[in-house]
Amino acid sequence: YEACRSMLKKEFGVEAGPETRALWQSLLLAADDTSNVQSTSGVPASQRLGRPSISVADFVNLTGKQGDDFFAKGLVQDITTALSEVADYVVLAALPPEKSGPGEEAKT
């Protein structure tokens, strides 16, 4: 926030607006609320702040054979596991693809 406020003042000669200050305050309060949250690796959220993060996207099975999907899924899981063992960054869990509706295939 301070960097943003300083840049606005220096470059444009204006102060941060009330909306920006309110957002900053809400983020500070949210950070306080999550300070005791633990990730799957056991690292408190407060210790992860400011660290780079990475997520592994799903691979696409180009063979056309549905039975080969497990290769792509296994590769993503192996890469995610290996990356999570490095303490320099946080590995984010990939979100499952959205489904169009009950019983329908995931959107790609």
| Domain that residue 60 falls in | 50-96
Could you read off the pLDDT of 31-88 as tens digits, one per residue? 654 444 444 455 555 555 677 888 888 888 888 888 888 888 888 888 888 888 877 7
pLDDT at 47: 53
Cα 78 vs. chain centroid, distance in angstroms? 19
Output the pLDDT for position 108: 45
Residue-wise over 2-11: b if at least 16 C-beta within 10 A, else e?
eeeeeeeeee
- State the pLDDT at residue 35: 43
Residue 6 lies in a domain: no
- 40 lies in some domain: no
Count of structural domains, the chain: 1
pTM: 0.41
Identify whether 70 is part of a domain: yes
Q: Are 52 and 91 in contact (CB under 8 A)?
A: no
Q: Tell me: the pLDDT tens digits for 14-28?
A: 888 888 888 888 877
DSSP line for 60-108: P--S--GGGHHHHHHHHHHHHHHHHT-TTSEEEPPPPPPBSSTTPPBP-
Residue with tokens 């696409």: 60
